[in-house]
């Protein structure tokens, strides 16, 4: 009987996780999991997801391509549109400043959420939220936020909730189309400068020096190869990654620039192709460095690619989607890598592939 009692106690300890050291392990695992309230409780956007942010309170914000923005607080999805006070339909950027205010860069301009309301003027630019300094002196800080201005050759810097509108002397050589000056991406440099992506190239400005990377400096023949920049990133090593819509990725290391997609045999010299074939990296709308130092690329036609410093690896987003287009790649506070689909939903990388989580 004593032996039976002992066996019962041992068995109870094995079957009951509260009696083992697995309790802390299980808690650590579930802490990093994103859980929805039900299988069907996902984003209702139909136009695709353009941008993602997890704010300091843990809320997730999702910017759509044509339907405004949505906040998910862990239980409820709350939608904000132009009909209920939001400033635009297409949400390209979402960022949070040091004061906890959330900033949205939309196709209609910039607006701010202070926790209670959205603020923007009729032209789409915020006014007097914590002061608005027009044509401020050039300055770059570690925590400031940058957005395209509403006028040509104009940038907006947000520093501790204060707005600085900055005129910058960029006249990037054009192909003769005013659209060439449209800003498609921004990336701060370790050298206290700013990389600005335009449709027709890239400019760098640090308050004094100006540098261009475009068809002319790359000696491209626009009949067979030309820049059409849609994403940009200076990584932790100081390398500049330039994502183009048509010719793939260029990589700048110090004074050398290579055609990265071509080097890795991911480029076909046919810029007029309507859709890129599988196994190529030619239409790059998102670039992200994760916390492990991997560089991720989101392609319009083929999906997700990862560069670990040596090799490129491809991951299909979701075979059921109408398009594999990835608009944004975001790493949340728990280390989850989230990918914004151009078709619908947000996907989390699970180490081998993707699970839809929003």
Q: Is residue 23 part of a domain?
A: no
If one counts the domains in the chain, the total is 2
Same domain, 217 and 149: no
Predicted confidence at residue 57, as pLDDT, reads 96
Predicted confidence at residue 301, as pLDDT, reads 96
> Which of 113, 145, 167 is the last residue in one of the domains?
167
Same domain, 234 and 86: no
H or E element in which residue 3 lies: helix 2-15
Predicted confidence at residue 1, as pLDDT, reads 42
Predicted confidence at residue 139, as pLDDT, reads 87
Same domain, 150 and 194: no
Q: What are phi and psi of 119, to 5 degrees?
A: -125, 125
Kindly write down the DSSP assignment for every residue of 258-321, as one continuous string.
Answer: EEHHHHTT---S-TT-SSPPTT---BEEEEEE-TTS-EEEEETTTEEEEE-SS-EEEE---TTS
Asked if residues 26 and 304 have their Cβ atoms less than 8 Å apart, the reply is no
> Which of 133, 167, 201 is the last residue in one of the domains?
167
Q: Is residue 123 part of a domain?
A: yes
Report residue 321 as tokens: 């989607």
> Which of 115, 149, 167 is the last residue in one of the domains?
167
Predicted confidence at residue 136, as pLDDT, reads 74
The reported pTM is 0.86
The CATH number assigned to the domain holding 318 equals 2.130.10.10
Tokens 């640090």 -> residue: 206
10-residue mean pLDDT profile of the chain (358 residues): values are: 38 35 30 49 90 97 97 93 91 96 93 91 50 75 91 87 84 65 92 93 91 91 86 98 96 96 92 80 97 98 97 96 97 97 94 95
Predicted confidence at residue 218, as pLDDT, reads 93
Same domain, 149 and 199: no
Identify the domain containing residue 89 by its residue range: 69-167
Predicted confidence at residue 313, as pLDDT, reads 98
Predicted confidence at residue 84, as pLDDT, reads 86
Using alpha carbons only, give the angle 233, 237, 242 rounded to the nearest 5 degrees.
25
Q: Is residue 7 part of a domain?
A: no
Same domain, 90 and 177: no
Same domain, 135 and 175: no
């Amino acid at each position: 009987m004593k032996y039976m009692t002992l066996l019962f106690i041992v068995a109870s300890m094995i079957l009951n996780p509260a009696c083992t050291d697995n309790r802390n392990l299980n808690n650590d695992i579930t802490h990093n999991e994103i859980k929805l309230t039900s299988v069907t409780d996902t984003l209702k956007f139909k136009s695709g997801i353009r941008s993602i942010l997890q704010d300091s309170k843990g809320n997730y914000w999702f910017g759509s391509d044509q339907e405004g923005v949505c906040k998910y607080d862990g239980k409820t999805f709350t939608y904000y549109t132009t009909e209920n006070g939001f400033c635009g339909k297409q949400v390209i950027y979402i960022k949070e400043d040091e004061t906890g205010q959330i900033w949205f860069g939309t196709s209609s301009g910039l607006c701010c959420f202070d926790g209670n309301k959205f603020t923007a003027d009729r032209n789409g630019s915020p006014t007097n939220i914590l002061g608005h300094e027009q044509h401020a002196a050039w300055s770059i800080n570690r925590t400031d936020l940058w957005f395209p201005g509403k006028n040509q050759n104009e940038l907006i810097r947000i520093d501790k909730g204060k707005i600085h509108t900055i005129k910058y002397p960029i006249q990037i050589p054009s192909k003769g189309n005013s659209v060439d000056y449209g800003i498609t991406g921004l990336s701060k440099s370790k050298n206290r400068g700013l990389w600005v992506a335009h449709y027709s190239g890239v400019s760098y400005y640090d308050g004094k020096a100006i540098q261009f990377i475009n068809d002319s400096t790359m000696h491209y023949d626009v009949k067979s190869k030309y820049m059409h920049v849609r994403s940009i990133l200076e990584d932790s090593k100081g390398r500049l990654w330039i994502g183009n819509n048509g010719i793939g990725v260029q990589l700048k290391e110090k004074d050398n620039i290579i055609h990265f997609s071509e080097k890795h045999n991911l480029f076909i010299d046919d810029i007029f192709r309507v859709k890129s074939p599988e196994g190529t990296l030619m239409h790059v709308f998102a670039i992200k460095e994760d916390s492990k130092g991997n560089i991720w690329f989101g392609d319009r036609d083929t999906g997700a690619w990862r560069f670990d410093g040596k090799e490129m690896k491809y991951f299909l987003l979701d075979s059921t989607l109408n398009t594999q287009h990835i608009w944004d790649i975001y790493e949340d506070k728990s280390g989850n890598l989230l990918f914004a689909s151009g078709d619908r939903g947000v996907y989390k990388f699970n180490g081998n592939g993707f699970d839809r989580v929003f």
